[in-house]
A and B are shown apart, each in its own frame.
Chain A
Amino acid sequence: MSLTDQLVQFVASGVTQGSIYALIALGFVTIYNVTGIVNFSQGEFAVIGGFVAITVAHKISLFRGNAQVALEWPLPVAILIGVAAAVVVGSLLYRLGIQPARQASTLSQIVVTIGASIALRGMILLAWGTDPYRLTPFTSGAPLRLLGAVITRQSLWVIALTGLAVIALYLFFQYTLTGKALRASSANPNAARLMGINTNRMGLVAFALSAGLGAVGGIVIAPITFMTYDRGLMLALKGFVAMITGGLTNPFGAVLGGLLLGVVESLAAGLLSPGYRDAFTFIVLFLVLLIRLGRMRRRGATAAMAGL
C-alpha cells in the first residue's frame, strides 16, 4: 500500500470509529443539555444495546453457562430490542440514581454516574462474561474499494446511521413539542417549570434518548469490532472528549468532534505510535481545553465566571 493509499485508509477508518464516538457524544450532549449532568455510564448503554441485540439474534449462553438462549430472531427485531433494553436501563438509572441526586453538588453527581457505570459493568459481566461476541453484519458482501481505501459495508452503515441520528435529533429538537420542551428545560429550568413542563420528566426523556443513541452506536459497531463487557469506559471517555471538542452543547459540534477525534487517533496510531493510541485522545482533550482557556483569557473572563 502506498503512502497516499495508507493516508486515505487511516482517514476512512478514522471516520468509521469517529462515528461511534459521535453517537456516544450525542448522548452526552442530550443529557448535559437538559440536566447539566455528564453521564459517565453513557458507554455502558452502547455495550448493553450491542449485547442484547447479539443475544436476541444469535445462539448464546449467559450467566457463565447457566442459561442457554437460542432465539435467533431476525436482525431488525434484535436491533429494536437492543435499543429498547438500553432505553429501559437508562430510564431506570435516571429514576433510581440521578433524579434523587438532582440537587447534589457536581462532584456528587459525577461520582453517582461513576458508581452507576461500575454497577452496570458488573451486571453486564455477570450476564455475558468476558468473551467477545459478534453481531452479523447488517448486509453481507465483500468490502468496497474507494479511492484506494478499503471500506467494509458495515462501516457505511455506521456512517449512514450516525448521519441519520444527527438529522433526526436536530428535527426532534427543532420541530417536536417534546424536543422544544427539552430545550426549554435546559435553557431555563425555572421558566420551563412555570410553563408547565415537568423538568423531571424531561430528565427522564433525555436519559432514555441518550441511552437509545448509545445503544445504536454499540449495535452498529458490534459487527466490526465485536462487543466485550469492558468497552463501556473507553467509549464513554472518547465520547466525552468528542463532546468537549465540539463545544459542550452543540450536537453538530459533537459529531464533528467525534469524527475529528477518530481521524486524529487513526493517523497518530498509524503514523506515530500505536502503543500510545489512547493517549492521543487525551492529548487532543488537553489541547482543546487549553485553546478554550486561552480564548477566555483573551476575552478577559476568568474560567470560573465563564463556567468554561
Chain B
Amino acid sequence: MSTKRFAPFTLLAALALVLAACAPAATPEPTQVPAPTQAPAATEAPAPEPTAAGPEQGDPYLLGAFFSSTGPVSSLGVPEANTATMVVDQINAAGGVLGPDGKLHLLELKMYDDQSDATIAVEVVKKLIEEDQVPVIVGGTGSPQSIGVIETVTTAGTPFISVASSSKIVNKDDGSQNTWVFKTPQQNLPVAQVQLDWLTAHGFTKVASLGVNNAFGGDSMAALRTVTAEAGIEIVYEGTFEPGTTDFSAQLTSIAGTDAEALVVHATPGEGAPLTVQFRDLGLQIPIIHNHGIGNRAFIDTAGEAAEGVLFPIGKLLVAEQLPDSDPQKATLLQYSADYNAAYGSAPSTFGGHAWDGLMMVKAAFEAVGTDSAAIRDYLETNVTNFVGISGIFNISAADHTGIGKESLVLVEITGGNWVYVPPSDYAGVP
C-alpha cells in the first residue's frame, strides 16, 4: 500500500499539529505583563490610582471558572457565566481586590465553556490548573461536570466551588466532605422539605412525581422519595421524561387516572413550561408544585396563563422586593438584581446567584489570604460564617461544605405573571 511510504509524513503532520497546539496556548507566566494593561475592557473609569495615599498595584490575581454556556444545561450556565463576567468587571472597576500584602490586585478571569459535557469539563479544569495556573476555580454548571472534576482538583490541591446541586459533589460515600470541593446551591433535599411542608399543610397523602431524566431531575426525585417516605406520604405515580421531550400527554393522562392529590414536577423551563401548559389543557384539577429549576423568567414567559397558580421553592432572589427590610439578604439581592439587569437587560436567575456567591467568597478569600491554594481552601472552610449571599446566608464548616439549607428557601406562587412570596402560615391557602 503506497500509503505507508508517506506514513512518516502523516506522523510529522500529527506531530506538527500537536506542537502547534502547544505553541499559541497560554503563555506560561501571564502575570509578567504590567497590571494596568491587563484590565478587562469594561473598566470605564480608570483604576483609582490618582489618590496619592492609595495602595499601589500588585500583580493581577488569577481566577478560574468554567460553566456550560452551551449544551443542554446552558440555560443555567449562561446566567452563571454572565454573572462571573459582571462581578469581575465590577471588582476591577473599583480598583481590584485589596490583598493581604496591602496592594490592589486586579482580577483576571479565565473562563471556559464545557458544553455540558463531563469530559470537556475535566479537560478545561486541567487546563485552568496546569496552563493558566489559577489558584481557585468556580463553576461546574451541571452535576456530572462538577463530579467529574473532583478527582482532578483534589489531586492538584486546587479549591473548587461548584454551582451544581447534587449532594454527591461535596459528600463522600462515608458522609465526610470532599476536602477541596465546596458548593453554593442548596442540596435538593431542603427543596423537597419545603415541598413536604406545603403538602402536609394541605393534608395530602398521595402525590404524583414527574421529572426530567437527567442528574438534576433524578436527584430531585430521589430527594422527594426520601422526605415523603419519612412523612408517610405515598407517591402513587413516578415517571420521567427525556430532556427535550415535547409531549407529556401520556404521563399526564396516566396521572389523571390515579388518585394523586398534587403533582410535583422536577424540571427546568425547557420541559417544565410545556408540561405545565399541557397539564392545564388536559383539565387536571389538582395543584401543581415545581422544584427550584424554574427560577427564571423563561418559565413564565413561555407557559403564559398556564403558569398561574404554580408553586415552587426557591432562593429569596425572585421575591427580594417583598422581603421585610430587616431581612439581611434583601439589600444584596436587590443590588445583584439591579446590576444584572443593567448589564444584561434581563432579570437574573437563581443560577446566576449561585455563581455570584462562589465568586464573592473567592474575593473574600483573596482579601484575607492572597492566592495560595491551600490557604484559600482553609479560609473557605473556616471563615465563611454568616456570609450574606444570593442563595442564602452561608455557614461553611469542615462537616458541611455547602453552608446553606432549608432556611434559605421560600415558597413562591406565580400570580398575575409575577412571583409572590408565600409565608409558611399561608401554605394551606395556596394555590
Contact = CB atoms under 8 A, between A and B. Distances in A.
Direct contact of A and B (CB under 8 A): yes
B242 A277 contact: yes
Contact of B239 (A131, A134, A231, A274): A274
A81 to B, nearest CB: 21
A267 B249 CA distance: 10
B251 A150 contact: no
Contacts, number: 111
A274 B256 CA distance: 15
B302 A132 contact: yes
Interface centre among A1, A224, A267 (most CB of B within 10 A): A1
Given A6-B253, A9-B253, A134-B304, A17 B270 contact: no
A65 B250 contact: no
Contact of A133 (B71, B78, B278, B302): B302
B214 to A, nearest CB: 12
A266 B250 contact: yes
A229 B241 CA distance: 18
B251 to A, nearest CB: 5
Interface string B267-285: 0011001100110011100
Contacts of A275: 213, 239-242
Interface in A263-285: 265-267, 269-271, 274-275, 277-278
A225 B246 contact: yes
A265 B249 CA distance: 11
A270 B239 CA distance: 10
A270 B250 contact: yes
A2 B257 contact: yes
Contact of B249 (A5, A9, A228, A271): A9
A16 B247 CA distance: 10
Contacts of A267: 250
Contact of B274 (A1, A226, A271): A226
A13 B270 contact: no
A269 B257 contact: no
Nearest to A151: B281
A143 B239 CA distance: 25
Nearest to B247: A17
Contact of B282 (A150, A225, A271): A150
Does more than half of chain B's interface fall in helix, strand or loop, or is it mixed?
A: helix
A245 interface: no
Contacts of B75: 130-131
Interface string A58-82: 0001001100000000000000000
Nearest to A266: B250
A224 B257 CA distance: 22
Contacts of B274: 132, 224-226
A133 B283 CA distance: 23
A134 B277 CA distance: 11
Contact of A13 (B78, B245, B250): B250
A94 to B, nearest CB: 27
B74 interface: yes
Interface in A101-135: 125, 129-134
B141 to A, nearest CB: 12
Contact of A270 (B78, B253, B269, B298): B253
Given A1-B256, A131-B298, A228-B244, A269 B344 contact: no
A143 B253 contact: no
Contacts of B71: 130
B70 interface: yes
A87 B94 CA distance: 52
Contact of A131 (B242, B270, B277, B345): B270
A28 interface: no
Contacts of A150: 281-283
Given A13-B253, A130-B75, A274-B251, A65 B344 contact: yes
Contact of B278 (A224, A265, A271, A278): A224
A79 to B, nearest CB: 19
A224 B277 CA distance: 8
A143 B242 contact: no
A228 B273 CA distance: 12
B249 A129 contact: no
Given A10-B253, A230-B244, A277-B250, A132 B273 contact: yes
A134 B269 CA distance: 12
B176 interface: no
A305 interface: no
B157 interface: no
A304 interface: no
A111 to B, nearest CB: 21
A271 B237 CA distance: 12
B235 to A, nearest CB: 14
B160 to A, nearest CB: 25
A269 B254 CA distance: 9
11 contacts: A2-B257, A10-B250, A13-B247, A16-B249, A17-B246, A65-B344, A129-B78, A132-B273, A150-B281, A274-B240, A275-B239
> Which 4 residue pairs are nearest across A and B when measured between Cβ atoms?
A225-B246, A13-B249, A269-B250, A270-B250
Interface of B: 70-72, 74-75, 78, 213, 239-242, 244-247, 249-251, 253-254, 256-257, 269-270, 273-274, 277-278, 281-283, 298, 302, 304, 344-346
Given A1-B256, A224-B274, A274-B254, 13 more contacts: A5-B257, A10-B249, A16-B249, A130-B70, A131-B270, A134-B302, A143-B282, A143-B283, A224-B278, A226-B273, A270-B254, A274-B240, A275-B213
Interface of A: 1-3, 5-6, 9-10, 13, 16-17, 61, 64-65, 125, 129-134, 143, 150, 152, 221, 224-226, 228, 230-231, 234, 265-267, 269-271, 274-275, 277-278
